[in-house]
Structure 1
């Protein structure tokens, strides 16, 4: 019989890496069209501004269905939800490789958004359940790198593949990648019996669970912090480049995501062994806010940009590690991961346009002020929720 998570003594790192690999495939559901966005007008020359929806419709669905995904995945059972999401995602990518008419492409992207949500809810929940307690922080910090790693791989390997064989080759390769992980995880996860018994799904229960999640200072905490992180991360990478000197711009923008990942996996993991995940998140937010003061005094300074990426890396990994620290059962962890996905999509959707409008209206000075305030609010939210947990 499967051991309870707190009694697991040895972490199956091969399976953890496979679940992380599935996460890379889910991140690529976002990144594959972001990487080739400048080439889409050649495929859909009459689309105009509607091409933006090819990328954004995946995230928009996450705003509306993020929490629902966490609740539904808990009821469908994690292994089943993950495998169905991988197989459906593979079928969708294979369909997209034929470059269908834009209306069909958008419909497929909407369905792909639901596949994406199921993976990002089920996989980290499974990782938390199969790891020994001492290894959860490391494993979930690794999971937290899945977006940055996937975008880096798409830039280094995906774009050369497109240049060689065209856009359909990238989409077909993504489909094959998901099939490989669906087959492997389908075999490896068969013996795991970690799914809880949950009540039948209903709309009334869904609404009740929404209230439960966002009233709980434990379930909602990772998501509320993640909102402020995602509001800043993508928007800073999008809006900051014009303010960095041209000779170092390409290097800095390529190094920032990698610096964030490196700090998350090295310093973040070390800190998680001596501090709570929430403390690491607050430290990352405070460091990020202080770095925005540096960037306000020295606009576009390359060293400051890399320090900022490192400070944000602490928030990145520790946010996922906070989920099992604050929530002991698989179903509450799934709820927390669903809320995290929802708030992450809200932050990603709002961050770039708000940051761009601020920079346009107030100039460069508006960027560090807005981002700095968001980082301070992220730290404050975690401190307030931590106080509520102590008094509960």
Structure 2
């Protein structure tokens, strides 16, 4: 695959908007989670599955999703993933019975996986070598931006028209993006399709990807990042001054995005993405010690989010830097999807367990250990690539 001579920023922004739709597949439930019991009062503890089931297919098949996307076609995957997402949200807006609602969330996971694998691969394709770092950093912001927009625009919609209206709005947006990208991608040169792997070969293909220090590197660090980010936003708030809590929680994702898009993009001009991610992990570990010494410090919380922004942008930029072909990039993105879903799944229970067994100090020690783990794993993989 050769890079384009000039960056198609308009198309990149539309693909990024599809990423916002993918993030909203998680966020549309997260932001109204306290109101889901209004829709399903008999669900009890099972209501938690309304969030986690989207990640099920990502955990099971994320690492090989890139191979299937390469075989099915990047344009086709992106558009069909949007249509599937639109259909599932439209069905959810009909107030389905609870088991049927959970089934739509599982299918929505297929849509999410297609979007997060095909989206960054296509962005890397239509960005020039000079602009690719900025383009991939922009893509890396899709979760933070989507959650912010859902808080600013989605919650007022829910307050006025109810929870089901949010699902309907999401369906309309996903369908609109599907139509727009069908037209926008029509004349975009994309990599040739690859043979779809046979199911019997999937275990061997997993091993093939995970033993590659180039393809697995972005995912390896991403696992440590995702195990911390959502978990920290979940377990830290009770330790922050109640008068400042709302401000700090709103500022943290925005600070992460701002640092990623400014300082992160600037540093990528002079540093390899792997080095930037290691710097981010090292700063996160140091700020974690700060939070350990000054529990719930608002400045430390915001600084931690900023440092995590370096890891965020650098991790996605690492995919095209370490992998030359579109097929390898898609496999690396698939591994990142698997690692991200796994990290989001295990992170919060891990932090809650550490908090219950060893208190605040034990929880922060776990956070620091994870950040150090991210730094070390990138160092070890970099050594493998050199020898």
Instruction: Report the TM-score, using the length of structure 1 for normalisation.
Output: 0.97
Pick aligned residue for 1:241 from 237, 242, 261: 237
What is the aligned partner in structure 2 of residue 66 from structure 1? 62
Structure 1 residue 205: deviation in Å? 3.5
Distance 1:386 1:96 in 2: 45
RMSD: 0.9
- Residue 265 in 1 paired to residue 241 in 2? no
Pick aligned residue for 1:141 from 124, 137, 141: 137
SS in 2 for 1:365: helix
Pick aligned residue for 1:293 from 283, 289, 304: 289
SS in 2 for 1:133: coil
- Residue 321 in 1 paired to residue 317 in 2? yes
Pick aligned residue for 1:212 from 205, 208, 224: 208
What is the aligned partner in structure 2 of residue 250 from structure 1? 246
Distance 2:196 2:316 in 1: 27
Structure 1 residue 180: deviation in Å? 1.1
What is the aligned partner in structure 2 of residue 155 from structure 1? 151
- Residue 113 in 1 paired to residue 109 in 2? yes
What is the aligned partner in structure 1 of residue 91 from structure 2? 95
- Residue 5 in 1 paired to residue 39 in 2? no
Distance 2:299 2:129 in 1: 36
Structure 1 residue 169: deviation in Å? 1.2
What is the aligned partner in structure 1 of residue 357 from structure 2? 361
Residues 52-97 of structure 1: CA deviation (Å, up to 9, x unaligned): 1011111122111111322211110100111110011101111110
Distance 1:195 1:110 in 2: 29
Structure 1 residue 380: deviation in Å? 0.4
Pick aligned residue for 1:343 from 339, 342, 358: 339
Structure 1 residue 241: deviation in Å? 0.6
CA contact (8 A) 1:67 1:341 kept: yes
What is the aligned partner in structure 2 of residue 130 from structure 1? 126
- Residue 78 in 1 paired to residue 65 in 2? no
What is the aligned partner in structure 2 of residue 31 from structure 1? 27
Structure 1 residue 192: deviation in Å? 1.9
Structure 1 residue 137: deviation in Å? 0.4
SS in 1 for 2:131: helix
Distance 1:165 1:195 in 2: 44
SS in 2 for 1:160: helix
CA contact (8 A) 2:72 2:196 kept: no
Pick aligned residue for 1:274 from 259, 270, 275: 270
Structure 1 residue 5: deviation in Å? 2.9
Unaligned runs of 5+ in 2: none
SS in 2 for 1:99: coil
CA contact (8 A) 1:196 1:330 kept: no
CA contact (8 A) 1:82 1:123 kept: yes
What is the aligned partner in structure 1 of residue 163 from structure 2? 167
CA contact (8 A) 2:68 2:196 kept: no
Structure 1 residue 199: deviation in Å? 2.2
Residues 335-357 of structure 1: CA deviation (Å, up to 9, x unaligned): 00000000111111000011011
Instruction: Report the TM-score, using the length of structure 2 for normalisation.
Output: 0.98
Structure 1 residue 203: deviation in Å? 1.2
**Which deviates further from its counterpart, 228-237 or 207-216?**
207-216
Structure 1 residue 171: deviation in Å? 0.7
